[in-house]
Chain A
Amino acid sequence: MLPAAAAALDGALVIPHGAIVWAAAMLWLVALLLAWPVPVWLARVGWPMRAPVIALLVWQGVGLAGGLSMIGALALTGLAVAPGVAQGAAVSGAAALWLALIPAALFAIYLLVHLAVTIVQVTRQRHRHLALLDMLSAPHPTRARTRVLDDAVPVAYCLPRGAGSVTVLSQGLLDRLDPDELVAVIAHERAHVEQRHDILLLAFRAWRSALPWFPVAALADAEVAALVEMLADDHARREVRDEVLARAILAVGASGVPGAEHDAAGSTRGSDRFRRLVA
Protein backbone atom coordinates (compact mmCIF):
# COMPACT_ATOMS: atom_id res chain seq x y z
CA MET A 1 0.00 0.00 0.00
CA LEU A 2 2.59 2.44 1.14
CA PRO A 3 5.19 1.74 -1.55
CA ALA A 4 2.44 1.86 -4.16
CA ALA A 5 1.32 5.26 -2.92
CA ALA A 6 4.90 6.44 -2.96
CA ALA A 7 5.32 5.19 -6.50
CA ALA A 8 2.13 6.95 -7.57
CA LEU A 9 3.33 10.16 -5.96
CA ASP A 10 6.69 9.69 -7.58
CA GLY A 11 5.04 9.22 -10.94
CA ALA A 12 2.93 12.33 -10.46
CA LEU A 13 6.02 14.41 -9.76
CA VAL A 14 7.89 13.38 -12.86
CA ILE A 15 7.33 15.82 -15.68
CA PRO A 16 8.53 14.71 -19.10
CA HIS A 17 11.81 16.35 -19.93
CA GLY A 18 10.51 17.46 -23.31
CA ALA A 19 7.70 19.41 -21.67
CA ILE A 20 10.17 21.33 -19.50
CA VAL A 21 12.33 22.21 -22.51
CA TRP A 22 9.27 23.32 -24.48
CA ALA A 23 7.93 25.48 -21.60
CA ALA A 24 11.37 27.01 -21.08
CA ALA A 25 11.60 27.92 -24.77
CA MET A 26 8.12 29.50 -24.69
CA LEU A 27 8.94 31.55 -21.59
CA TRP A 28 12.20 32.73 -23.16
CA LEU A 29 10.21 33.87 -26.18
CA VAL A 30 7.76 35.80 -23.98
CA ALA A 31 10.59 37.27 -21.92
CA LEU A 32 12.47 38.43 -25.04
CA LEU A 33 9.35 39.95 -26.62
CA LEU A 34 8.61 41.87 -23.41
CA ALA A 35 12.23 42.94 -23.05
CA TRP A 36 12.66 44.49 -26.48
CA PRO A 37 10.07 44.71 -29.29
CA VAL A 38 6.99 45.29 -27.12
CA PRO A 39 8.34 48.23 -25.07
CA VAL A 40 10.04 49.78 -28.11
CA TRP A 41 6.73 49.60 -30.00
CA LEU A 42 4.86 51.02 -27.01
CA ALA A 43 7.25 53.98 -26.85
CA ARG A 44 6.83 54.67 -30.58
CA VAL A 45 3.05 54.51 -31.12
CA GLY A 46 0.79 57.53 -30.71
CA TRP A 47 -2.16 56.24 -28.72
CA PRO A 48 -0.61 56.41 -25.22
CA MET A 49 -0.84 60.21 -25.29
CA ARG A 50 -4.59 59.90 -25.85
CA ALA A 51 -5.05 57.13 -23.27
CA PRO A 52 -2.38 57.59 -20.61
CA VAL A 53 -4.26 55.53 -18.02
CA ILE A 54 -4.35 52.46 -20.27
CA ALA A 55 -0.77 53.02 -21.38
CA LEU A 56 0.40 53.10 -17.76
CA LEU A 57 -1.43 49.85 -17.04
CA VAL A 58 0.20 48.27 -20.09
CA TRP A 59 3.65 49.45 -18.96
CA GLN A 60 3.09 47.98 -15.52
CA GLY A 61 1.97 44.73 -17.11
CA VAL A 62 4.99 44.66 -19.40
CA GLY A 63 7.33 45.33 -16.50
CA LEU A 64 5.80 42.75 -14.20
CA ALA A 65 5.27 40.05 -16.82
CA GLY A 66 8.71 40.72 -18.30
CA GLY A 67 10.41 40.22 -14.95
CA LEU A 68 8.38 37.15 -14.03
CA SER A 69 8.81 35.48 -17.43
CA MET A 70 12.56 36.04 -17.21
CA ILE A 71 12.67 34.44 -13.75
CA GLY A 72 10.45 31.57 -14.93
CA ALA A 73 12.56 31.02 -18.04
CA LEU A 74 15.73 30.85 -15.94
CA ALA A 75 14.08 28.40 -13.53
CA LEU A 76 12.83 26.08 -16.29
CA THR A 77 16.16 26.22 -18.10
CA GLY A 78 17.86 25.22 -14.87
CA LEU A 79 15.47 22.29 -14.50
CA ALA A 80 15.92 21.24 -18.12
CA VAL A 81 19.70 21.03 -17.85
CA ALA A 82 19.89 19.59 -14.31
CA PRO A 83 20.84 15.91 -14.73
CA GLY A 84 18.90 14.51 -11.75
CA VAL A 85 15.66 16.17 -12.75
CA ALA A 86 15.99 15.29 -16.40
CA GLN A 87 16.09 11.59 -15.60
CA GLY A 88 13.14 11.87 -13.26
CA ALA A 89 15.14 10.63 -10.27
CA ALA A 90 13.02 12.49 -7.77
CA VAL A 91 14.77 11.69 -4.49
CA SER A 92 18.42 11.83 -5.50
CA GLY A 93 17.51 14.84 -7.63
CA ALA A 94 16.29 16.93 -4.67
CA ALA A 95 19.66 18.64 -4.28
CA ALA A 96 20.00 19.03 -8.03
CA LEU A 97 16.53 20.56 -8.11
CA TRP A 98 17.60 23.33 -5.74
CA LEU A 99 20.86 23.88 -7.62
CA ALA A 100 18.88 24.16 -10.85
CA LEU A 101 16.81 27.01 -9.40
CA ILE A 102 19.80 29.08 -8.24
CA PRO A 103 20.09 31.30 -11.36
CA ALA A 104 16.40 32.19 -11.22
CA ALA A 105 16.59 32.87 -7.48
CA LEU A 106 19.69 35.05 -7.89
CA PHE A 107 18.03 37.15 -10.58
CA ALA A 108 14.88 37.59 -8.47
CA ILE A 109 16.92 38.55 -5.41
CA TYR A 110 18.99 41.00 -7.49
CA LEU A 111 15.82 42.80 -8.63
CA LEU A 112 14.31 42.85 -5.13
CA VAL A 113 17.52 44.17 -3.57
CA HIS A 114 17.59 47.00 -6.12
CA LEU A 115 13.98 47.85 -5.32
CA ALA A 116 14.75 47.90 -1.60
CA VAL A 117 17.87 50.04 -2.04
CA THR A 118 16.01 52.52 -4.24
CA ILE A 119 13.18 52.79 -1.71
CA VAL A 120 15.63 53.41 1.14
CA GLN A 121 17.61 56.02 -0.84
CA VAL A 122 14.54 57.94 -1.97
CA THR A 123 12.97 57.82 1.49
CA ARG A 124 16.16 59.16 3.07
CA GLN A 125 16.45 61.97 0.51
CA ARG A 126 12.80 62.90 1.06
CA HIS A 127 13.33 63.08 4.82
CA ARG A 128 16.30 65.37 4.35
CA HIS A 129 14.35 67.50 1.90
CA LEU A 130 11.38 67.76 4.28
CA ALA A 131 13.70 68.75 7.14
CA LEU A 132 15.19 71.51 4.97
CA LEU A 133 11.71 72.63 3.93
CA ASP A 134 10.62 72.90 7.55
CA MET A 135 13.46 75.35 8.13
CA LEU A 136 13.29 77.30 4.91
CA SER A 137 9.66 77.59 3.88
CA ALA A 138 6.57 79.07 5.47
CA PRO A 139 3.13 77.47 5.44
CA HIS A 140 0.83 78.92 2.77
CA PRO A 141 -1.55 81.36 4.47
CA THR A 142 -4.71 79.71 3.12
CA ARG A 143 -3.91 76.35 1.58
CA ALA A 144 -3.40 73.27 3.71
CA ARG A 145 -0.29 71.10 3.21
CA THR A 146 1.20 73.78 0.98
CA ARG A 147 4.41 75.63 1.73
CA VAL A 148 5.91 78.73 0.20
CA LEU A 149 9.63 78.80 -0.50
CA ASP A 150 11.14 82.27 -0.59
CA ASP A 151 13.01 81.99 -3.87
CA ALA A 152 12.71 83.99 -7.05
CA VAL A 153 12.95 80.97 -9.39
CA PRO A 154 9.42 79.88 -10.34
CA VAL A 155 9.01 76.26 -9.22
CA ALA A 156 6.17 74.08 -8.04
CA TYR A 157 6.58 70.51 -6.87
CA CYS A 158 5.21 67.99 -4.47
CA LEU A 159 6.97 65.69 -2.06
CA PRO A 160 4.89 62.57 -1.88
CA ARG A 161 5.05 60.83 1.46
CA GLY A 162 1.86 58.98 2.27
CA ALA A 163 -0.58 61.15 4.18
CA GLY A 164 2.07 63.79 4.92
CA SER A 165 2.51 64.93 1.34
CA VAL A 166 3.53 68.54 0.84
CA THR A 167 3.07 70.83 -2.14
CA VAL A 168 5.77 73.47 -2.44
CA LEU A 169 5.35 76.75 -4.37
CA SER A 170 8.12 79.28 -4.72
CA GLN A 171 7.52 82.98 -4.23
CA GLY A 172 8.73 83.46 -7.79
CA LEU A 173 5.92 81.20 -9.00
CA LEU A 174 3.27 83.01 -6.97
CA ASP A 175 4.46 86.34 -8.36
CA ARG A 176 4.32 85.10 -11.93
CA LEU A 177 0.99 83.23 -12.12
CA ASP A 178 -2.55 84.58 -12.06
CA PRO A 179 -5.07 82.84 -9.76
CA ASP A 180 -6.44 80.55 -12.52
CA GLU A 181 -2.95 79.42 -13.53
CA LEU A 182 -2.17 78.71 -9.89
CA VAL A 183 -5.28 76.52 -9.69
CA ALA A 184 -3.95 74.56 -12.66
CA VAL A 185 -0.54 74.06 -11.03
CA ILE A 186 -2.00 72.98 -7.71
CA ALA A 187 -4.51 70.60 -9.32
CA HIS A 188 -1.63 69.06 -11.29
CA GLU A 189 0.48 68.54 -8.18
CA ARG A 190 -2.45 67.25 -6.14
CA ALA A 191 -3.08 64.58 -8.78
CA HIS A 192 0.48 63.28 -8.34
CA VAL A 193 -0.08 63.00 -4.62
CA GLU A 194 -3.60 61.57 -4.67
CA GLN A 195 -2.92 59.01 -7.39
CA ARG A 196 0.34 57.95 -5.72
CA HIS A 197 2.39 58.38 -8.88
CA ASP A 198 5.51 58.24 -6.72
CA ILE A 199 5.06 54.48 -6.17
CA LEU A 200 4.81 53.83 -9.90
CA LEU A 201 7.83 56.01 -10.65
CA LEU A 202 9.82 54.36 -7.89
CA ALA A 203 9.25 50.87 -9.30
CA PHE A 204 10.42 51.89 -12.78
CA ARG A 205 13.33 53.85 -11.30
CA ALA A 206 14.43 50.73 -9.41
CA TRP A 207 14.20 48.66 -12.59
CA ARG A 208 16.30 51.24 -14.40
CA SER A 209 18.97 51.27 -11.70
CA ALA A 210 19.01 47.46 -11.58
CA LEU A 211 19.59 47.20 -15.35
CA PRO A 212 21.72 50.22 -16.29
CA TRP A 213 23.12 48.45 -19.37
CA PHE A 214 19.62 47.78 -20.66
CA PRO A 215 18.35 50.81 -22.64
CA VAL A 216 14.73 49.64 -22.56
CA ALA A 217 14.64 50.06 -18.78
CA ALA A 218 15.60 53.74 -19.19
CA LEU A 219 13.08 54.09 -22.01
CA ALA A 220 10.30 52.59 -19.86
CA ASP A 221 11.22 54.91 -16.99
CA ALA A 222 11.07 57.99 -19.23
CA GLU A 223 7.78 56.91 -20.81
CA VAL A 224 6.12 56.25 -17.46
CA ALA A 225 7.36 59.61 -16.14
CA ALA A 226 5.87 61.41 -19.15
CA LEU A 227 2.55 59.53 -18.94
CA VAL A 228 2.23 60.37 -15.28
CA GLU A 229 2.58 64.07 -16.17
CA MET A 230 -0.23 63.68 -18.70
CA LEU A 231 -2.48 62.17 -16.04
CA ALA A 232 -1.73 65.06 -13.71
CA ASP A 233 -2.40 67.52 -16.56
CA ASP A 234 -5.75 65.84 -17.23
CA HIS A 235 -6.61 66.36 -13.58
CA ALA A 236 -5.78 70.06 -13.93
CA ARG A 237 -7.79 70.30 -17.17
CA ARG A 238 -10.92 69.30 -15.27
CA GLU A 239 -10.57 72.48 -13.25
CA VAL A 240 -9.24 74.97 -15.79
CA ARG A 241 -9.35 75.43 -19.55
CA ASP A 242 -6.48 74.03 -21.63
CA GLU A 243 -5.24 77.54 -22.43
CA VAL A 244 -4.85 78.30 -18.74
CA LEU A 245 -2.76 75.18 -18.20
CA ALA A 246 -0.69 76.02 -21.29
CA ARG A 247 -0.11 79.55 -19.97
CA ALA A 248 1.00 78.16 -16.61
CA ILE A 249 3.41 75.70 -18.29
CA LEU A 250 4.86 78.51 -20.42
CA ALA A 251 5.15 80.90 -17.48
CA VAL A 252 7.16 78.35 -15.52
CA GLY A 253 8.90 76.29 -18.20
CA ALA A 254 9.89 79.03 -20.62
CA SER A 255 11.17 81.42 -17.98
CA GLY A 256 14.78 80.29 -18.06
CA VAL A 257 14.27 77.92 -15.14
CA PRO A 258 17.08 75.31 -15.15
CA GLY A 259 16.52 71.57 -15.46
CA ALA A 260 15.61 70.05 -18.82
CA GLU A 261 12.07 68.79 -19.13
CA HIS A 262 13.00 65.55 -20.90
CA ASP A 263 15.78 63.08 -20.40
CA ALA A 264 17.71 61.43 -23.18
CA ALA A 265 16.41 57.88 -22.87
CA GLY A 266 15.05 57.87 -26.43
CA SER A 267 11.53 58.71 -25.35
CA THR A 268 9.72 61.50 -27.23
CA ARG A 269 6.66 61.21 -25.00
CA GLY A 270 7.63 64.36 -23.09
CA SER A 271 6.74 66.60 -26.04
CA ASP A 272 3.41 64.77 -26.42
CA ARG A 273 2.41 66.30 -23.10
CA PHE A 274 2.28 69.67 -24.85
CA ARG A 275 0.97 68.51 -28.22
CA ARG A 276 -2.04 66.82 -26.68
CA LEU A 277 -3.23 70.14 -25.26
CA VAL A 278 -3.48 71.47 -28.79
CA ALA A 279 -5.10 68.40 -30.35
Chain B
Amino acid sequence: MATLGELERAVMDAVWDAPAPLSAYDVQEQLEAGGRSLAATTLLTVLSRLEKKGFVASDRSVRPYRYTAVAARADHVAELMHEVLGESRDRSAVLARFVGSVSEEDAAVLRELLRSAGSGG
Protein backbone atom coordinates (compact mmCIF):
# COMPACT_ATOMS: atom_id res chain seq x y z
CA MET B 1 0.00 0.00 0.00
CA ALA B 2 1.21 3.49 -0.81
CA THR B 3 2.55 5.61 2.00
CA LEU B 4 1.09 9.01 2.89
CA GLY B 5 4.03 10.67 1.13
CA GLU B 6 3.33 8.74 -2.08
CA LEU B 7 -0.34 9.65 -1.85
CA GLU B 8 0.50 13.32 -1.43
CA ARG B 9 2.75 13.13 -4.45
CA ALA B 10 0.02 11.55 -6.59
CA VAL B 11 -2.48 14.23 -5.55
CA MET B 12 0.09 16.96 -6.18
CA ASP B 13 0.82 15.56 -9.65
CA ALA B 14 -2.90 15.70 -10.43
CA VAL B 15 -3.10 19.34 -9.25
CA TRP B 16 0.00 20.28 -11.24
CA ASP B 17 -1.23 18.60 -14.41
CA ALA B 18 -4.68 20.17 -14.28
CA PRO B 19 -5.28 23.30 -16.39
CA ALA B 20 -7.87 24.65 -13.90
CA PRO B 21 -8.44 24.52 -10.11
CA LEU B 22 -9.55 21.08 -8.91
CA SER B 23 -12.00 19.94 -6.27
CA ALA B 24 -11.39 16.79 -4.24
CA TYR B 25 -13.83 15.02 -6.55
CA ASP B 26 -11.89 16.12 -9.62
CA VAL B 27 -8.73 14.74 -8.02
CA GLN B 28 -10.59 11.53 -7.26
CA GLU B 29 -11.56 11.23 -10.94
CA GLN B 30 -7.99 11.93 -12.08
CA LEU B 31 -6.58 9.25 -9.81
CA GLU B 32 -9.34 6.86 -10.82
CA ALA B 33 -8.25 7.33 -14.44
CA GLY B 34 -4.76 6.39 -13.32
CA GLY B 35 -6.05 3.20 -11.72
CA ARG B 36 -6.22 4.32 -8.06
CA SER B 37 -9.54 4.58 -6.32
CA LEU B 38 -9.59 6.57 -3.10
CA ALA B 39 -12.35 7.99 -0.94
CA ALA B 40 -13.05 11.71 -1.41
CA THR B 41 -12.68 12.22 2.35
CA THR B 42 -9.15 10.76 2.18
CA LEU B 43 -8.31 13.14 -0.64
CA LEU B 44 -9.72 16.09 1.32
CA THR B 45 -7.44 15.17 4.20
CA VAL B 46 -4.45 14.95 1.86
CA LEU B 47 -5.34 18.27 0.23
CA SER B 48 -5.62 20.04 3.58
CA ARG B 49 -2.24 18.61 4.59
CA LEU B 50 -0.77 19.90 1.33
CA GLU B 51 -2.34 23.28 2.02
CA LYS B 52 -0.77 23.36 5.49
CA LYS B 53 2.60 22.55 3.93
CA GLY B 54 2.16 25.42 1.49
CA PHE B 55 1.92 23.43 -1.73
CA VAL B 56 -1.70 24.18 -2.63
CA ALA B 57 -4.12 27.06 -2.00
CA SER B 58 -7.87 26.65 -1.74
CA ASP B 59 -10.69 28.76 -3.11
CA ARG B 60 -13.36 28.56 -0.40
CA SER B 61 -15.88 30.85 -2.11
CA VAL B 62 -17.27 27.89 -4.06
CA ARG B 63 -18.49 24.46 -3.00
CA PRO B 64 -16.82 22.09 -3.16
CA TYR B 65 -13.56 23.92 -2.44
CA ARG B 66 -11.21 24.25 -5.42
CA TYR B 67 -7.49 23.70 -5.05
CA THR B 68 -4.65 25.16 -7.09
CA ALA B 69 -0.89 24.68 -6.88
CA VAL B 70 0.91 27.56 -5.16
CA ALA B 71 3.90 27.23 -7.49
CA ALA B 72 4.65 25.27 -10.64
CA ARG B 73 6.45 21.98 -10.31
CA ALA B 74 9.49 23.45 -12.07
CA ASP B 75 9.68 26.24 -9.48
CA HIS B 76 9.81 23.74 -6.66
CA VAL B 77 12.47 21.72 -8.48
CA ALA B 78 14.44 24.95 -8.89
CA GLU B 79 14.09 25.69 -5.16
CA LEU B 80 15.30 22.20 -4.31
CA MET B 81 18.23 22.30 -6.72
CA HIS B 82 19.18 25.76 -5.48
CA GLU B 83 19.60 24.31 -2.02
CA VAL B 84 21.59 21.38 -3.36
CA LEU B 85 23.82 23.33 -5.77
CA GLY B 86 23.56 26.95 -4.72
CA GLU B 87 26.06 26.89 -1.92
CA SER B 88 29.49 25.45 -1.68
CA ARG B 89 29.27 22.16 0.14
CA ASP B 90 30.65 23.08 3.47
CA ARG B 91 28.36 26.03 3.85
CA SER B 92 25.33 23.79 3.82
CA ALA B 93 24.71 21.77 6.95
CA VAL B 94 21.35 20.66 5.60
CA LEU B 95 22.64 17.99 3.28
CA ALA B 96 25.88 16.22 2.40
CA ARG B 97 26.64 16.25 -1.31
CA PHE B 98 28.84 13.58 -2.90
CA VAL B 99 31.04 16.12 -4.67
CA GLY B 100 30.70 19.70 -5.82
CA SER B 101 32.42 21.31 -8.76
CA VAL B 102 35.96 19.94 -8.93
CA SER B 103 38.66 22.46 -9.84
CA GLU B 104 40.80 21.92 -12.95
CA GLU B 105 43.87 21.04 -10.84
CA ASP B 106 41.95 18.52 -8.78
CA ALA B 107 40.51 16.99 -11.94
CA ALA B 108 44.04 16.70 -13.36
CA VAL B 109 45.14 14.81 -10.22
CA LEU B 110 42.29 12.34 -10.64
CA ARG B 111 42.90 11.87 -14.38
CA GLU B 112 46.53 11.13 -13.60
CA LEU B 113 45.39 8.40 -11.20
CA LEU B 114 43.18 6.89 -13.87
CA ARG B 115 46.00 7.02 -16.45
CA SER B 116 48.48 5.26 -14.16
CA ALA B 117 45.89 2.69 -13.11
CA GLY B 118 45.10 2.04 -16.76
CA SER B 119 48.75 1.56 -17.77
CA GLY B 120 49.58 -0.48 -14.65
CA GLY B 121 46.71 -2.92 -14.97
Contacts and interface: CB of A to CB of B under 8 A. Distances in A.
Interface residues of B, number: 45
A157 B107 contact: no
B46 to A, nearest CB: 12
Contact of A185 (B53, B79, B98): B98
Interface residues of A, number: 64
B95 A157 contact: yes
A275 B97 contact: no
Contact of B112 (A156, A188, A257, A278): A278
Contact of A274 (B6, B84, B106): B106
B5 interface: yes
Contacts of A135: 8-9, 12, 55, 76
A234 interface: no
Among A126, A156, A261, chain B packs the most CB atoms within 10 A around the CB of A261
A108 interface: no
Contacts of A259: 84-89, 97, 100-101
Contact of B98 (A139, A226, A252, A275): A252
Contacts of A242: 113, 117
Interface string A159-203: 110000000100000000000000001001100100001100110
Nearest to A131: B53
Given A260-B88, A274-B109, A278-B113, A118 B100 contact: no
Contact of B99 (A132, A202, A253, A278): A253
